[in-house]
Every structure is written in structure tokens, then in C-alpha cells.
Amino acid sequence: MEAIVVGAGIGGLAATLSLRRAGCEVTLVERAPRFTEIGTGIQLAPDATRVLRRLGLLDAVAAQATRPSHVEFRTWSDGRAICRYVLGDEVEREFGAPYLQVHRADLHRVLTAAVPPRSVRLDTCVVGIDQDDGSARVTTAAGERLRADLVVAADGVRSAARRWLFGTDEAVFSKTAAYRALLPAGEVADLGLPEYGVWLGPGRHFVHYRVRRGELLNVVAVFTTEEAQESWTARANRGSSCASSPAGTPACSMFWSVRAGCTATASTHVCRWRGGTSGG
Ligand SMILES: Cc1cc2nc3c(=O)[nH]c(=O)nc-3n(C[C@H](O)[C@H](O)[C@H](O)COP(=O)(O)OP(=O)(O)OC[C@H]3O[C@@H](n4cnc5c(N)ncnc54)[C@H](O)[C@@H]3O)c2cc1C
């Protein structure tokens, strides 16, 4: 059986590898001209790491990731502990696979390396999908028509393929956005942050955890906003004004530093992400 997978994100790469394992001949089509290091941290719960194990890639991903022993929820204003959940061995015992935190680029790189280059077509934007009783077809921006027995649309949360096939299905803006940043972990070691922390405040929360073998601290500062801008890569304005004044916890000061771009080093970008969901 021949398949075309549209989109070489995490989903498209995983689908390609799974289809190949099932004996399909797969062409993976991606509009980006090359794979670059984009994104920040991603959390992989056992349902995801179990799939990576099945694909034979769990060890390679785990070697780049961190495996938190617990998560601590604290109050934003005074740092009081709200609750604590054990992860680490306990999650692995209960769900049969680990809970990992990884840089999206590291996960993407491991998945990409497992797909034979001859199966990947970069710089190929899909502009249409159609089918008849015998086959499915993909039309590219260059006017090519690719044919297969099966087309898998893995073109992300703003999927055009979903719109072509099933009509309009607009995501609803939750009125939350997030500032995301990666900081060298050594530069903020003096803050004494928990290994994996979630700081809860009115209309905002702050999540941090380590990625890239613990070398980078991934921070996600989620807040409510009316301003809708959908992007994984938009840059935050440095020194943007604050809606209210910070309290005295390390998370608060870091939230504000991240927001103002002050914590950013030369190699650090602060990104603004508007999401349909809030999280980290
Ligand atoms: C640049 C980027 C950065 C991200 N950063 C983070 C992050 O830091 N933290 C986090 O938790 N999640 C992040 N995400 C989201 C996360 O990777 C996905 O939501 C999740 O992994 C689901 O993956 P997906 O494969 O469904 O979609 P995605 O990872 O969004 O991948 C979709 C792919 O389809 C391609 N594509 C779209 N339309 C077409 C088309 N017409 N023709 C050909 N190719 C097409 C896109 O270029 C993209 O490579 C990011 C996504 C992207 C694209």
C-alpha cells in the first residue's frame, strides 16, 4: 500500500514511521524548505512515550530529555505549596512508560533521523486533496498531482486539509496567550526553583521545567488577553508593559523578566504564543 503523509511535524513523522512499520510505502510532504530548530519544551506523557517505544525511539528521545520525579503546584503570590504529584518511577509503574520533558527540536530530530531521506519531500506545499473510489490525490503548489492509496493529513492545528475535507472548523480563541522562553539552566540556578513547577495566580500561571538533558530551563508564562495572534514563532516585544505589579516569589520575578525580555540572553528568544488551550 502507498501512503502520502502531509506535514512533517511530530504527528506526521510518527504517522510515517508507523505506516512504514506496517509495510506501507510512504511519501512525507512538508511545506518548510528545511527542518530548523523551532519550538521550545514539550511534555511527553506515557501515552506518547509508549508510542516512541513501539517505534524503537524511546531511548534516543530519553537521552535528550529530562524525567521529572514530581511536579509542585504553588501559589503565585507567596510561593505556598498547593499540592505535589509524584511522577518518575511511580508514573512508569502505573502506566508502563515514562513521563518526559523534551525540547521540541530534539524530539523532532530523533523522529526525522528515523525516516529515510528518500521518503521526504521538503519545500512542497499541499494545496488540495481529493479522492475517488480507487485512490487519493494530493495537489502541490507547483501543480504536481501525487497519487496514493491513502492520504494522512498531519498539517497541524490550523489544518487546511481538515477544512478541505470536512468544511470550516475554526479553533475558538480561549483568550489566553503565553510567553515562552528557554534559559540556560545555570543562569537561574540561584532562584531555587522546583524541578518542575506550576505557579498559579489570578488570570495567569507560570510553568517551568528543564529540557535538553537539564541544560535549558523551559518557561511558559500564560496570561489572559484579548489580543489574538496565532503563531508558534512570533517574537515578544521586549519591555512590554505589565498589567499589574509582581509579587515577591521567584516565579513572579521570572515571569516579569521573561515578559519584559530582561532574562533573555543573546541566544534566547522570548516567543509569544496565542493558544486555543493554556498549558506548557
Ligand atoms: C514551529 C512549531 C513550533 C512548535 N513549538 C511548540 C512548543 O514549543 N511546545 C509545544 O508544546 N508545542 C509546540 N508546537 C506544537 C506541537 O508540535 C504540535 O501541536 C503537536 O506536536 C502536534 O503535532 P502535529 O504534527 O499535529 O502538528 P505540527 O507540529 O504543527 O506540524 C504540522 C506540520 O505540517 C506542515 N504543514 C502545514 N500545512 C501544510 C501544507 N499545506 N503542506 C505541507 N505541509 C504543511 C507544517 O509546516 C508543520 O511542519 C509547535 C509547532 C510548530 C509547527
From the centroid of its chain, how far is CA 214?
Answer: 17
Residue from 13, 198, 211, 195 nearest 117 by CA? 13
The full set of domain ranges for the chain reads: 2-69+92-166, 176-275
Q: Return the best residue to mutate from 40, 100, 101, 104 for the ligand 1 pocket (most ligand atoms within 8 A of CB).
A: 104
Confidence of residue 175 (pLDDT cuts 50, 70, 90): confident
| Tens-place pLDDT, residues 214-239 | 999 998 888 888 776 666 666 655 44
251 pLDDT exceeds 80?
A: no
Q: Is 209 annotated as catalytic?
A: yes
Determine the pLDDT at residue 234: 61
Query: 229: buried, middle or exposed (CB in 10 Å: 19+, 13-18, 0-12)?
Result: exposed
Q: What percent of the chain has pLDDT over 90?
A: 57
Taking residues 56-62, what's their average pLDDT? 98
For residue 62, CA distances in Å to 43, 154, 235, 251 come to 12, 24, 29, 27
Determine the pLDDT at residue 23: 97
Determine the pLDDT at residue 272: 53
Topology at the third CATH level for domain 2-69+92-166 = FAD/NAD(P)-binding domain (3.50.50)
Q: d(Cα 199, Cα 158) in Å, to the nearest integer?
A: 29
Q: Which helix (H) or strand (E) holds 210?
A: strand 204-211
| Tens-place pLDDT, residues 75-132 | 887 888 999 999 999 999 999 999 999 999 999 999 999 999 999 999 999 999 999 9
The 204-211 sheet, strands edge to edge: 81-86, 70-75, 197-201, 204-211, 216-224, 176-184, 270-275
* Pocket of ligand 1, beta carbon within 6 A: 6-12, 29-32, 38-42, 104, 125-126, 154-157, 160, 232-233
Nearest protein CA to atom 12 of ligand 1, as residue: 42
Determine the pLDDT at residue 279: 39
